[in-house]
Structure 1
Amino acid sequence: MKKLLNTVYVTSEGAALRKDGENLVAEVGGAERSRVPLHMLSAVVVFGAIHVSPPLMVALAGAGITLTFLDRNGRFQARLEGPVAGNILLRRAQYRACDRPEEIVRSIVIGKVANQRAVLMRSLRDYGAEQAPEDRGALDRVTDRLAHILRRVERADETLDQLRGSEGEAAQLYFSVFGQLIRAPDEAMRWTGRSRRPPLDPVNALLSFLYTLLAHDCRSALEGVGLDPAAGFLHRDRPGRPSLALDLMEELRPVLADRLALSLINRRQLRARDFETRDGGAVMMGEEARRTVLTAWQERKREERLHPFLEEKVPFGLVPHVQAQMLARHLRGDLDAYPPWFWK
């Protein structure tokens, strides 16, 4: 069990969580492994077959602490929470904005494409001299194309469908050269293209796991400011899908998730032996690998970067919360536009 910025992650399958007084207690094999006061928690996330006692569920819901159930590979299964607290005026403004979301979508797409381009350019600066000429040429061409897409999106004449098309084009270009950012010699850790449900190789399994963690944090951030995580702008509404949380994470994915995945692979903290292939070809991380990723996720969330709009240093782990506040301020009319977060 790990506590990261007021969120507890429980990864040991067969563990049991119970309430003892005003504390959450984690046990494995009947022996107490950890104890955390409830007042220090904002969320609990469990992976795989974890027993959670009914008294603890009631206590978490009553204290406004969300309990999220994920399968052992990080795929969302269910979420338990108490009464939803939201600002009705803010949510009405959000729902009105959903009818004409172009400007918010434009900001989201600009943030995502700029951060994708920054990740590629960082790799060129760090390792460009060591790359084969054809690999460096491909990266140069994609960064140039992403710059062209940015200029196109920044114009105010693109429709919503065109903005979505630009976002999709940028993603296709970005992932077409993603494998050239992987420097580990393990052939089994090569990039073969994006696969999601299910992930078909170790790199995709790692990305999907990190995206799940980021989506959880984004949803919590939106709920924390009173926004409805289901009513998005870039992602179309779909029953059961937290579309706004997926919107919020788009500009954060390249830096918070993709770069962390590359670091874990290139530093050989994760290898092919840390993953297993199931019937049907689905690839999943083992328990030790999940622990390694969660430890790295904790460390990454503690790192600070200058927020370009606030001009203050902000820990990575609080960036989703800051961006949710920026979005809420825009919807209330306090900001003329939603300012995306740029990594520099």
Structure 2
Amino acid sequence: MKKYLNTLFVTTQGAYLSKEGETIAVKIDQKIRIRIPIHTLAGIVCFGAVSCSPYLMGFCCEHDVSISFLTKYGRFLAMVKGPVSGNVLLRRKQFRMADCQKKSANMAGFVLTGKLANCRTVLERSLRDHKDKMNQEVVKKVSDRLLIYIQKEMQKDNLDRLRGIEGDAAHQYFSVFNQLILAQKEAFSFLGRNRRPPTDRINCLLSFVYTLLVHDVRSGLESVGLDPAVGFLHRDRPGRPGLALDMMEEFRPFLADRLVLSMINRNQVRPDGFIIKESGAVYMDDETRKTVLETYQKRKQESLIHPFLNEKVEIGSMFFIQALLLARFIRGDIDGYPPFIWK
């Protein structure tokens, strides 16, 4: 199995990436600071004023290494990727399934079951480990509501109904998210989800990590030959990776939300590591961004038992594994898509 762990994050403004033999050279202030063998990487993410030589782009495409370009503060701009691999018949089946409302609803039910189950696990673990530091009754009430949705509603074959459930479940989940903040509560208070741009520190962190997550999920889908733009829950929209956003849902609570909570509660990020603009927009400074990227990368290198395969796998390979399982479901090799459910 190809590695889907190592991502090169380039945040230094003015950096220039080029090809040197079988390596990627990173030049800063006219000096090469590091050379990285191409075979060790699965992707490159460039933030802000970072440029790449045309030869490097072609080199990365030949070796199936994607290059993503983001603004300095993490908004996705574009991706350079080689030809789509995999069987065209698989993509045809994906498109036909996405065109069918009933089959799309079926797939959306799988995805949302994973998302809601993992949201509930985040809440239940917090209740188990820190019940004396939060309003137990409020958090437990939301957890129980998510369980009802999972047990009784995810089998619905109405896509609009499922979107309504997902919207209410997300609202309920984030309504108690502030209860999970156990340190630095004054500076990291959370009143609800906001974005484009985020207007508080927690939303700034969440949006940034979600962007990293989309990049990794998209790479996993493309590696097995699926089209990341054609989703089931998230419908077609120019420039939107609908299928990547679908599969991302099951990873949000487990990987992104837990990562943000952990960094705040362990004081890995500090209030003064953020920049507040006159418009009210909040952005990370360079040091905080570096801390988030390093923590995210280390998290992907941790291992767990995959609930469906019952094997120990690295978290960074989960995107590829789930993409493979989705491809098997679309081909008809398995009866249903088994979302990743964290236990």
TM-score interval, normalised by the smaller of the two chains? over 0.9
**Percent sequence identity over aligned pairs:** 51
Q: Number of residues paired by the alignment? A: 338
Secondary structure class of the residue paired with 2:153: helix
Q: CA deviation at 1:58?
A: 2.7
Structure 2 CA distance for aligned equivalents of residues 157 and 21 of structure 1? 54
Q: Is the Cα contact below 8 Å between 1:329 and 1:335 reproduced in 2?
A: yes
Cα deviation 1:118-169 (Å, max 9, x = unaligned) = 00010000000233xxx21110111111111112224x34411111111111
Give the letter for the 2:53 counterpart: S
Deviates further, 122-131 or 33-42: 33-42
Which residue, out of 120, 124, 129, partners 1:121? 124
Separation in structure 2 between the aligned mates of residue 34 and residue 148 of structure 1, nearest angstrom: 52
Match of 2:254 in 1: 255
Report the CA distance between 1:172 and its aligned residue. Answer: 0.5
What's the secondary structure of 1:77's corresponding residue? strand
User: How far 1:113 moved relative to its partner?
Assistant: 0.4
CA contact (8 A) 2:106 2:157 kept: no
Q: Go from structure 1 to structure 2 and tell me whether the alpha carbon gap of 1:207 and 1:40 turns closer, same or farther (over 3 Å shift).
A: same
Aligned to 1:22: 22
Letter in structure 1 aligned against 2:77: Q
Q: What displacement does 1:339 show?
A: 0.5
**What secondary structure does 1:314 align onto?**
strand
2:182 maps to 183
Shift of 1:252: 0.6
Tell me, what secondary structure is at the counterpart of 1:188? coil
Matches within 5 A, 1:1-344: 5-98=5-98, 99=100, 100-131=103-134, 135-154=135-154, 156-344=155-343
Tell me the C-alpha RMSD between the 2 structures. Answer: 1.5
2:115, 2:185 → 1: CA distance?
A: 29
Q: Partner letter of residue 117 of structure 1?
A: R
Contact kept, 8 Å, 1:110 with 1:153, in 2: the verdict is no
Gapped regions of structure 1 (runs ≥ 5): none
Cα distance change on mapping 1:15 and 1:147 into 2, 3 Å: same
| CA positional deviation for 1:38 | 2.0
**Please, which runs of 5 or more residues in structure 2 have no aligned partner?**
none
Tell me the TM-score normalized by structure 2: 0.95
CA distance in 2 between partners of 1:118 and 1:179 (Å): 16
CA distance in 2, matches of 1:4, 1:86: 17
Q: 1:294 to 1:213 in 2, by over 3 A?
A: same
Deviation at 1:56, TM superposition (A): 1.7
